[in-house]
Amino acid sequence: MKTDELRLVPGKDVRLAAIDPRSTFGLDKKSAGIAELASDCSRLTELQEIFAAARSRSLLIVLQGMDSAGKDGAIKHVMSGVNPQGVDVYGFKAPTDVEVAHDFLWRCERVLPERGRIAIFNRSYYEEVIVVRVHEDLLARESATPEKDIWAERFEDINAFEHHLARNGTIVLKFFLHLSKDEQRKRLLARLDDEDKNWKFSVNDIRERRYWDEYQVAYERMLGATTTAWAPWYVIPADKKWFVRAAVASVIIEKLDSLGLHYPHLTGEAAGQLKEFRQQLEAE
């Protein structure tokens, strides 16, 4: 899969209406997507082991999108083969009183991955320029005022924050799952029709759906302002779940492969000790 087609170009306006949520970028058959995902998951298992052993970089994966866009499914399927000891998943919902008492980046900052580890943010600090922008009354709880430049300031803060992470060895990959309004309706109805999926349904899903157009505008402005060379956004057409999973996996594999990491090699005294240990074990 050519992941360059999914990556947004910095400095260009984003128009989500011009990106078809049903597109599969040439990967026309579901069977082909499933096969590619299986191959990538196998490769990711190998790359994660090396990544963890090298402990020279960390990886932050950010997933954003409307309700039922497939964030949970992407995490479940893409990460199905990795060692769970090396991955942390965090879901960020409405902030607590303690979190609101800090700056808007704090609650995500405190769980950033250390070198050798992967962290996945299921929603993130980007909620502070999306849902808070759609519902500006939330700013009052944060002791912030909706001044005309608050969003530009937050975009600037986020870009600086991610630049700092990149300069210090954290790879930042951001995925926006671009779901159509009609497909969301079908998925929400499916949750209502299937008793085993009723628990997934939330009244908030319906409430927020009423603000669909406002969310699309907020996402467009956020994506255009915060896709950078050091922390790019990938817009993933999300009407086909199998494509989302295959696309996200391809981007992650491509990035980890490009690092050229390898298992640590012992030299000098440490290498000599290995020979000594072998002799001791063989002599038993």
User: pLDDT tens across 105-118, in order?
Assistant: 999 999 999 999 99
pLDDT at 227: 98
Angstrom distance (rounded) from CA 126 to CA 224: 13
Please report the pLDDT score of residue 147 as a whole number.
66
Whether the CB-CB separation of 24 and 33 falls below 8 Å is answered with yes
Greater pLDDT, 178 or 202: 178
**Percentage of the chain modeled with pLDDT above 90:** 79
Instruction: Locate 94 and state its tokens.
Output: 């409405």
Averaged pLDDT, 167-194? 96
What pLDDT does 5 receive? 93
CB 70 within 8 A of CB 241: yes
pLDDT at 146: 65
Q: Which residues pair with 100 in a beta bridge?
A: none
* pLDDT at residue 54, as a whole number: 96
Please determine, for residue 259, whether its predicted confidence score (pLDDT) is greater than 70. yes
Residue type at 224 in one-letter notation? G
Q: What is the DSSP letter of 138?
A: H
What integer pLDDT is reported at residue 205 of this predicted model? 83
Is the model more confident about 95 or about 194? Answer: 95
Sign of CA pseudo-dihedral 66, 85, 233, 130: positive
pLDDT of residue 204: 84
Q: Is the pLDDT of residue 132 over 80?
A: yes
What pLDDT, on the 0 to 100 scale, is given for residue 31?
94
* 64 DSSP 8-state letter: E
- For residue 7, give the DSSP letter: B
Q: What is the mean pLDDT of residues 244-264?
A: 96
Average pLDDT for the chain: 93
Cα torsion 181, 182, 187, 193: sign: positive
Question: Cα dist. 182→22, 68, 82, 185 in Å?
Answer: 11, 12, 34, 5
Mean pLDDT value of segment 22-39: 93
Q: By C-alpha distance, which of 263, 226, 255 is closest to 58? A: 255
The two three-digit tokens of residue 158, written as one number: 């986020």
Lowest mean pLDDT among 99-113, 188-202, 208-222: 188-202
Which alpha helices (DSSP H) does the chain contain, by range? Answer: 30-54, 71-78, 97-100, 106-109, 131-134, 138-141, 150-167, 181-193, 203-209, 212-226, 241-258, 268-283
| Stretch among 2-11, 42-51, 61-70 having the lowest mean pLDDT | 2-11
CA atoms within 13 A on the CB side of 222: 27
Residue 189, pLDDT above cutoff 80:
yes
> What phi, psi does 171 have (nearest 5°)?
-85, 130
pLDDT for 77 equals 97
Return the pLDDT at 196: 81
